[in-house]
Amino acid sequence: MAQAQALVRKADGHEAAGRFDEASRLSLRALDLVRQLREREPDVHEHARMFGATAYTLGAKLAGAGRRAEAVAVLGEAEKAYESLPAASFPARDDWVADVRARRALGHAHRGARLSALEDLRAAFRQYRSHPMVPAEAVRTLGVAAQVQAACGDPGLALACAKRAVNLALTRRGPRLSVPTDGTFAYFLWASDVMRCVLAAQGEHEGAAAVEQVLVEIAGGPLPARMPTLLGDRLASDSPPDLTLTLTAALDAAEREGADVTAARRFVRRPRDEADPVLLPGDRADRPETAAVAAAHAVELTGLARRFAGQPAAAARLVVDAHHLFLVASEAQTLGMRYQFGDYGPHWATALLACCRQARADGDLVFAVDLGRWMVAVAERLMPFASVHPEVAALVVDCVRTDGQVLVDSGDVEAGRTALATAARIADRYGRTGGGPGAGE
């Protein structure tokens, strides 16, 4: 254990100096040593705690080195290690798991795995909200949420998180504004970056200029046009986020196409206590009365998404929000999702399937693989209905087959071939070759 701890300290020094490759190499060695300890003494909980902590810090080092897929994978190991700890002996266990998921949300978002990024963010947020947060913790949480949602989700919710974080962080000392110089400062910058980018994109140039002025005052000098943040990286990528495309904007576009969005708009704009605003997609259905109708509203959003054959970004915006409403309804064990999944599930799977095919056609394979993962999970839940509903059997085959095609395209040939073989077995079992457009691609 002492040798592993010494390696971690050396790795931290390299990380502080910006030498992320060397920091990652040393941390990987440390993790292997702790892994061996766990294998020799599996009942010693402290080994699991040390493994989780080492894997958690390694995730940051790998991300700094640009090895984001590896970072996401090792953070998954950290999560499992922490979850294995008894809560009675480790009262901070759930907070540690939340920290892992928040960091993994950033990793997913950097890669463009939007659904997984937003789900990890939601899980982390749920734990953080389970107890009162001091301002510094709230600024950190909101800063992460602002960046992840600006990169992967609804820019309107990203802006709401950013404004809240900035207001919590800013203090006035005499004529000057200031921000604590502890860890809060970095997250204040993250939130401010989201504010100025989203406001500028949405044409609110005075607001963006005001944020810029505050940043200049606090930093004591001019700032780069694009800050080295998650959002900055995504804006410079091949598939930058559209910071004007809020859920409200997507509904407006659907209305211009002739759709009746009255009920959807009412659900989205449902009044909230100012002290408890909507900050994440799932917040729209986080109460018993809203969770009960979440799946029905998700179905409505998926129906609206089908109107946007020529506007895939608007369709994806609606599908992503529908997906999270379905997730919240499932988690809440609502009557509809427990006893009527055969009615709701096909809408969920069909929406993810269409979005996955579009992402594949656009060459956005990271997003396509991410969609495929969630799509197959929904398809698996539909299997009990496949034997009596031929259209459900065809949908399941389509989902699994498309997932296999996407995995092969992404370079994960073995997993892709396994999925394609599974799709063929399901088709043989139910006498279905798959239905719907593009099934035979």
CATH code, domain carrying 309:
1.25.40
* Number of structural domains found in the chain: 1
- Residue 174 pLDDT > 80, yes or no? no
- Residue 401 pLDDT > 70, yes or no? yes
**What tens digit of pLDDT does each residue of 256-286 get?**
888 899 988 888 876 666 667 889 988 888 7
CA distance 381 to 341: 8
For residue 150, give every residue at least 6 positions away whose Cβ sits within 8 Å of its Cβ, in sequence order, or none.
158, 159, 162, 194, 197, 198, 230, 231, 234, 241, 243
- Residue 437 pLDDT > 50, yes or no? no
Confidence of residue 438 (pLDDT cuts 50, 70, 90): very low
- Residue 3 pLDDT > 90, yes or no? no
In a domain, 107, yes or no: no
**pLDDT value, residue 212:** 82
- Residue 283 is classified by DSSP as G
Confidence of residue 439 (pLDDT cuts 50, 70, 90): very low
Dihedral of alpha carbons 310, 313, 316, 318, sign: negative
**pLDDT value, residue 441:** 44
Query: What would the mean pLDDT of 386-404 be, rounded to a whole number?
Result: 95
CA distance 277 to 55: 34
Tokens 């600024």 belong to: 139
Q: Which residues of 154-187 are buried (b: 16+ CB within 10 A; e: fewer)?
A: bbbbbbbbbbbbbebbbeeeeeeeebeeeebeeb
Task: Please give the span between the terminal C-alpha atoms of the chain, in angstroms, as a whole number.
Answer: 53
- Residue 440 pLDDT > 50, yes or no? no
**pLDDT value, residue 23:** 93
For residue 277, give every residue at least 6 positions away whose Cβ sits within 8 Å of its Cβ, in sequence order, or none.
160, 164, 283
- Residue 109 pLDDT > 60, yes or no? yes
In a domain, 387, yes or no: yes
**What count of other Cβ atoms lies within 10 Å of the Cβ of residue 433?**
15
Confidence of residue 293 (pLDDT cuts 50, 70, 90): confident
In a domain, 284, yes or no: yes
The pTM score is 0.89
Confidence of residue 353 (pLDDT cuts 50, 70, 90): very high
- Residue 308 pLDDT > 90, yes or no? no
In a domain, 311, yes or no: yes
Nearest to 422, CA basis, from 388, 385, 392, 397: 397
Partners of 171 in the beta sheet?
A: 178
CA distance 57 to 157: 29
In a domain, 334, yes or no: yes
In a domain, 223, yes or no: no
Query: What would the mean pLDDT of 129-150 be, rounded to a whole number?
Result: 90
**SS percent in the chain: helix, strand, coil, step 5:** 75, 0, 25
Nearest to 243, CA basis, from 142, 167, 157, 139: 157
**pLDDT value, residue 267:** 84
Mean pLDDT of the chain: 89
Domain coverage including residue 420? 280-430
Query: What would the mean pLDDT of 198-213 be, rounded to a whole number?
Result: 90
In a domain, 214, yes or no: no
* Residue 433 vs residue 217, higher pLDDT: 217
**pLDDT value, residue 214:** 82
CA distance 172 to 434: 63
The distance between the two most distant Cα atoms of the chain, rounded to a whole number of Å, is: 76
In a domain, 149, yes or no: no
Nearest to 294, CA basis, from 331, 247, 349: 331
- Residue 239 pLDDT > 90, yes or no? no
Query: What would the mean pLDDT of 321-330 be, rounded to a whole number?
Result: 92
Partners of 178 in the beta sheet?
A: 171
Do 110 and 366 form a contact (C-beta atoms < 8 A)?
no
Cα separation values, 178 from 141, 168, 238, Å:
20, 11, 36
